[in-house]
């Protein structure tokens, strides 16, 4: 009975016309479009068996419930919130009222969620060791989702919702299915940069939502950098007062940060903050006197500033207090300390630094000074009991690190980053790959394919080395993105990274992926995220917009179609009502 399933009608009807691509722009080959035997599943679970036997889901009676045997009950708000979310995804239109009628066909009336281990971790923060595995068994009349922890239940609920489709009469349907699933990598991250452009909270929340749909589990928040310092520190409020683009419209208050962390937690997503030093700190200097190195032009200060000043004790006093705060504000066990791209020219120009170099016997090797700084910073952060992530330059420059440090590889071409992954893991460090996933780099055409083909374990190394690869991160640096264009630029391109990091390493059939991804992107659009199209075609439910008609100052001719404006308002209210209660 278990056999290959061919969805005849999918929840998200998608047609992609295979018209020849015009105008001579055939840079990347289009994958061949067929029907995937896996429907619209994304990322593909580790083990899937789908039958052709289909059941219906009744809008009147279907429910997601806690299994009787579950260690987690109605008091687990994380799961209750998730049930509500997925109920709305499965039944986006209001559900019918009324008596459940006698049925002439087999149906799934319940999805039972069964947390099997004694501690469900319902009230915990997700961590690098969180168990995200689950088993899903869809049958009539009951489907069962078994997971050791709530984190697996979250992943399984998403998978369940992806199995639901509409038959040709619009009835919600699901096929008999058995799934055993777990992530290939424990660290599946997305970096957003809120310094080069300030990202309104709404944008961050929307992208956390999309991350959950793609089974990402780490939001790497590159929160401050040279251009602006939007993090509002309780200990040093002048940092954002002086260093943000605007002292209150362009900052993240402590309660904003709290809200984002909680919103992420409810979706099984860790929030790892990055406070990058000693470079990339121009904005820090505006609110913190003497923190940065004064650059000299000849014998006198030029008025400009360089990296953090590593020779003053006040610097380390500041860092100790600052990172003490950060370690309490961000509950995650890791902090990303940056450490990339330190420009030595300012240090070189400064006579006090030169003297210090001589005293320390560093000669003219300024990477030794960098190491000196980083070493002291790591000592400080270690006292907060946090682990740390760091960009690859730190290890390239030979700084001594704790054995459990995560090295974040981001530089070079394919050959170079593979060599770096080999080097880092040969030294016994854990490694994280981002180089092929700098999604801010755009090009014309289907660039998701290149992201999809990259693999973090694809380098010359022993099995032991490969095991030190904890995953990767898609990065969307902020030079050219803000609230206007970030979300469509990111999705569904980041989805390609999501599957690479979750699914088995042999899941690499681009044609099969293309078919699933087209449907997955339409699903994201239907759920309210403006994920951009992969190619010519359409979704049954197109994006309803946020191109604000409120300002379109319609003349009477438009108000005759008042629906235009009011539907915008409606979708906005819907969105907020979906988001807000979960905070």
**What residues numbered 235-264 form the site for a second copy, per CB under 8 A?**
245-246, 249-250
Q: How far is the CB of 40 from a second copy (least distance, A)?
A: 18
CA distances, 100 to each of 61, 344, 495 (Å): 6, 73, 38
Q: How far is the CB of 111 from a second copy (least distance, A)?
A: 29
- For 156-298, strand residue ranges (E) read 165-166, 172-181, 187-193, 218-222, 270-277, 292-297
Dihedral over Cα of 50, 55, 60, 65: its sign = negative
Q: How far is the CB of 154 from a second copy (least distance, A)?
A: 22
Q: Which residues inside 413-472 make contact with a second copy, applying CB under 8 A?
A: 438, 440-445
Instruction: Tell me if 3 contacts a second copy by CB under 8 A.
Output: no
Instruction: Tell me if 543 contacts a second copy by CB under 8 A.
Output: yes
Which one is catalytic: 29, 69, 341, 479? 341
Instruction: Tell me if 202 contacts a second copy by CB under 8 A.
Output: yes
Instruction: Tell me if 29 contacts a second copy by CB under 8 A.
Output: no
Alpha-carbon distance 505 to 511, whole Å? 16
Question: Using the rule CB under 8 A, which residue among 60, 106, 358, 547 binds a second copy?
Answer: 547
Instruction: Tell me if 228 contacts a second copy by CB under 8 A.
Output: yes
- If the CB atoms of residues 85 and 527 are measured against a second copy, the closer one turns out to be 527
Alpha-carbon distance 111 to 105, whole Å? 18
Instruction: Tell me if 525 contacts a second copy by CB under 8 A.
Output: yes
Please tell me whether residue 314 adopts helix, strand or coil conformation.
helix
Q: How far is the CB of 336 from a second copy (least distance, A)?
A: 16
Alpha-carbon distance 100 to 405, whole Å? 56
Alpha-carbon distance 290 to 569, whole Å? 49
Instruction: Tell me if 303 contacts a second copy by CB under 8 A.
Output: no
Dihedral over Cα of 245, 250, 252, 253: its sign = positive
Q: Which residues inside 275-294 make contact with a second copy, applying CB under 8 A?
A: 280, 282
CA 324 to chain centre: 25
- If the CB atoms of residues 59 and 533 are measured against a second copy, the closer one turns out to be 533
Hey, what are 212's tokens? 């959950």
Q: How far is the CB of 568 from a second copy (least distance, A)?
A: 8
For 304, counting Cβ atoms within 10 Å of its Cβ (0-12 exposed, 13-18 middle, 19+ buried), the class is middle
Q: Which residues inside 322-341 make contact with a second copy, applying CB under 8 A?
A: 341
HSE-CB for 87 with a 13 A CA cutoff = 21
Q: How far is the CB of 536 from a second copy (least distance, A)?
A: 4
Instruction: Tell me if 542 contacts a second copy by CB under 8 A.
Output: yes
For 173, counting Cβ atoms within 10 Å of its Cβ (0-12 exposed, 13-18 middle, 19+ buried), the class is buried
Q: Which residues inside 340-379 make contact with a second copy, applying CB under 8 A?
A: 341
Question: Using the rule CB under 8 A, which residue among 2, 3, 358, 550 binds a second copy?
Answer: 550
Instruction: Tell me if 574 contacts a second copy by CB under 8 A.
Output: no
Hey, what are 295's tokens? 């650059």
Instruction: Tell me if 553 contacts a second copy by CB under 8 A.
Output: yes
Question: Using the rule CB under 8 A, which residue among 10, 21, 110, 422 binds a second copy?
Answer: 21
Place of tokens 């992943």: 155
CA 88 to chain centre: 22
- If the CB atoms of residues 180 and 549 are measured against a second copy, the closer one turns out to be 549
Instruction: Tell me if 495 contacts a second copy by CB under 8 A.
Output: no
Q: How far is the CB of 537 from a second copy (least distance, A)?
A: 7
Give the DSSP letter of residue 581: G
Instruction: Tell me if 583 contacts a second copy by CB under 8 A.
Output: no
The answer to whether the CB of 48 falls within 8 A of the CB of 503 is no
- If the CB atoms of residues 222 and 516 are measured against a second copy, the closer one turns out to be 222
Place of tokens 């539907």: 567
Q: Which residues inside 149-188 make contact with a second copy, applying CB under 8 A?
A: none
- If the CB atoms of residues 99 and 551 are measured against a second copy, the closer one turns out to be 551
With contacts defined by CB under 8 A, how many residues of the chain interact with a second copy?
Answer: 77
Give the DSSP letter of residue 252: B
Instruction: Tell me if 569 contacts a second copy by CB under 8 A.
Output: no
Question: Using the rule CB under 8 A, which residue among 35, 88, 167, 226 binds a second copy?
Answer: 226
The answer to whether the CB of 330 falls within 8 A of the CB of 312 is no
The answer to whether the CB of 357 falls within 8 A of the CB of 363 is yes
Q: Which residues inside 386-415 make contact with a second copy, applying CB under 8 A?
A: 410
Place of tokens 């009807």: 13
Question: Using the rule CB under 8 A, which residue among 189, 227, 310, 498 binds a second copy?
Answer: 227
Active site residue 341: yes
Q: How far is the CB of 479 from a second copy (least distance, A)?
A: 5
Choose the binding region for a second copy from 262-270, 291-299, 347-355, 538-546 (rule: CB under 8 A). 538-546
Q: Which residues inside 470-489 make contact with a second copy, applying CB under 8 A?
A: 477-485, 487-489
**Phi/psi-derived region of residue 361, left when phi > 0, alpha when psi is between -120 and 50, beta in every other case:** left
Q: Which residues inside 73-112 make contact with a second copy, applying CB under 8 A?
A: none
HSE-CB for 333 with a 13 A CA cutoff = 12
Hey, what are 465's tokens? 């080395």
Question: Using the rule CB under 8 A, which residue among 8, 77, 328, 548 binds a second copy?
Answer: 548
- The catalytic residue positions are 341
């Amino acid at each position: 009975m278990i056999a290959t399933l061919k969805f005849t009608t999918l929840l998200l009807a998608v047609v992609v016309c295979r018209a020849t691509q015009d105008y001579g722009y055939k840079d990347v080959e289009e994958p061949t479009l067929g029907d995937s035997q896996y429907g619209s599943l994304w990322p593909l679970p580790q083990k899937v068996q789908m039958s052709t036997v289909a059941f219906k889901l009744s809008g009147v009676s279907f429910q997601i419930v806690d299994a009787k045997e579950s260690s987690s009950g109605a008091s687990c708000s994380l799961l209750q919130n998730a049930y509500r979310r997925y109920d709305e995804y499965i039944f986006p239109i209001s559900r019918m009222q009324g008596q459940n009628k006698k049925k002439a066909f087999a149906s799934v009336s319940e999805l039972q969620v069964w947390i099997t281990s004694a501690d469900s971790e319902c009230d915990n923060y997700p961590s690098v060791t969180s168990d995200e595995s689950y088993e899903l068994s869809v049958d009539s009349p009951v489907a069962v989702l078994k997971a050791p922890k709530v984190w697996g239940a979250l992943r399984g609920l998403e998978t369940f919702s992806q199995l639901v489709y509409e038959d040709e009469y619009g009835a919600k349907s699901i096929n008999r299915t058995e799934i055993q699933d777990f992530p290939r990598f424990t660290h599946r991250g997305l970096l957003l940069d809120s310094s080069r452009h300030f990202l309104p909270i709404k944008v961050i929340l929307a992208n956390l939502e999309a991350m959950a749909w793609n089974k990402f589990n780490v939001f790497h928040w590159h929160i401050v950098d040279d251009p602006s310092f939007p993090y509002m520190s309780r200990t040093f409020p002048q940092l954002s007062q002086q260093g943000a683009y605007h002292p209150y419209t362009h900052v993240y208050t402590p309660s904003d940060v709290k809200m984002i962390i909680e919103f992420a937690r409810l979706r099984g997503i860790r929030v790892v903050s990055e406070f990058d030093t000693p470079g990339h700190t121009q904005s820090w200097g505006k609110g913190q006197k003497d923190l940065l190195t004064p650059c000299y032009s000849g014998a006198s200060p030029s008025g400009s500033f360089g990296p953090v000043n590593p020779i003053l004790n006040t610097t380390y006093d500041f860092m100790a207090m600052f990172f003490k705060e950060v370690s309490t504000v961000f509950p995650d066990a890791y902090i990303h300390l940056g450490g990339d791209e330190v420009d030595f020219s300012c240090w070189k120009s400064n006579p006090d630094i030169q003297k210090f170099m001589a005293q320390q016997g560093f000669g003219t090797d300024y990477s030794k000074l960098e190491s000196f700084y980083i070493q002291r910073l790591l000592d400080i952060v270690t006292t907060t009991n946090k682990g740390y992530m760091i960009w690859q330059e730190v290890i390239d420059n030979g700084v001594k690190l704790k054995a459990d440090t995560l090295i974040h590889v981001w530089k070079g071409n394919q050959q170079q980053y593979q060599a770096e992954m080999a080097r880092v893991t040969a030294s016994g460090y854990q490694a994280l790959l981002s180089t092929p996933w700098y999604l801010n780099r755009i090009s014309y055409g289907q660039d998701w394919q290149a992201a999809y083909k990259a693999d973090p374990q694809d380098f010359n190394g022993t099995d032991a080395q490969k095991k030190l690869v904890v995953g990767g991160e898609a990065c969307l640096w902020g030079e050219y993105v803000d609230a206007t264009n970030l979300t469509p630029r990111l999705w569904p391109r980041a989805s390609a990274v999501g599957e690479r990091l979750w699914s088995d390493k042999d899941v690499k059939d681009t044609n099969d992926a293309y078919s699933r991804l087209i449907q997955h992107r339409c699903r994201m659009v239907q759920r309210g995220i403006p994920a951009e199209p992969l190619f010519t075609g359409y979704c049954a439910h197109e994006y309803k917009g946020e191109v604000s008609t409120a300002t379109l100052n319609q003349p009477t001719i438009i108000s005759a179609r008042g629906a235009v404006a009011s539907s915008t308002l409606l979708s906005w209210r819907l969105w907020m009502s979906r988001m807000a209660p979960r905070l």
